[in-house]
Amino acid sequence: MATHVDLIRWQDEPAPAPWWFLPLAFLGAAYVAAVTLRLLPYLTLCLHQRRPNNDLRRRYGAWAVVTGPTSGIGRAMALELARQGLNLVLVDLDTTNLQEISDTIRSRHGGVETKTVVFDLSLVSTDQGDKPLRWLREAVDGLDVGVLVNNAGVAWPGSVYLHEVEVEAWVRMMRAVTEVTSAVLPGMVARRRGAIVNIGLASSEAIPSFPLFTVYAATKRYVAQFSRGLHVEYAGKGIHVQCQAPFFVATRMVENLVEARRLSPFTATPGAYARAAVGWIGRGGPLCTPSVRHQLLWCAAAAAAPDFVLDWILLRSHLEQRTLLSADQSIEGAISVFAARTRRCQLISGKSSASGTIRGDLAMTAYTRYSSVIVTAVSTRGSGHGWIPDNLNRGHLDYFFWLLTVLNAVNFVVYLWIANCWRLGE
């Protein structure tokens, strides 16, 4: 016969967990660990940035070569490198804008020297490309070039299918990155030091596909693979090669894209991105996303939904953008047409547009966060029926399970907040 003490002891003991509890706890622990490990390099960099600045001039050399420095990311990178005391070789096709950025750098940073090379990178794969390449080699000959930033590229005309694209233009862009790197690399090899930064695209790395921007994303994937290979080949020669893959930066190239408007909380300014990007030069592996905003978006994209769901969402978004383009306009003018149509629609029916956008975005958010709702529901029902022990101190894995639930719940709230920002942005 059980005594009163035995009954009290029996009532204090937690109910045994079902067979599936430990596997789910391990899965939650693995998920939390994976997310944490992805963020650790960026937390480490934040600690590094509290120390003295990354002295690129001392580590690699007195000069840096920047392609496409007249606007956007390239301009911000050139200004940031000049702020850190590096002399600059500026490469672009526009003589007037080259002179303007050169004068700006010298006026802001009196001790910085600049050289300009007029070079249309789209001519690299043609008969006219040999002369500009020779000019570039002559410009860097004898200079202590320690940093190369390959930023120049071709803006995608809009949401288009492959048969509507001039494929040769994208072949030239890939060859331009290769040829410019080949022109600067021999000097770095001779000095056994240097850093090469190739600007890629996070959308070609973090998500399974980028429909209607397929060739553009594929060229950026080439840049990433090109960087990985060179990183391995030249690490033993003192040369660090890195592909920096941003999401959206507030430049003219992306200002009218649907994703850039909807994900405005995660869009970095050129100046902020350049400061983070220069801080990453010579650090980390062959692929990185310097901006913390972009890294958070990368993690969200990787964990938001299965690949086929992301494919459907992006295709729907890009087809929506395509419908705003006038059929009688050329592909080259697609972005400007999209901007005009967007502004006109907002003036005519701003309320209905905002209402439709928030309904669609909330539906998409709820669908992509289905795992959060399921985990929360299971954990709530489990605690109510005694499946989950009340005394969590008896097993540390229980903490991971509850942490996973809380993280998913918070993540869901964040996505709702983002959807609300999209509505206000309309």
Catalytic site residues? 216
Neighbours of 299 (CB within 10 A): 17
Closest by Cα among 422, 320, 294 to 365: 422
CB 149 within 8 A of CB 77: yes
CA 68, CA 202: separation in Å to the nearest integer? 19
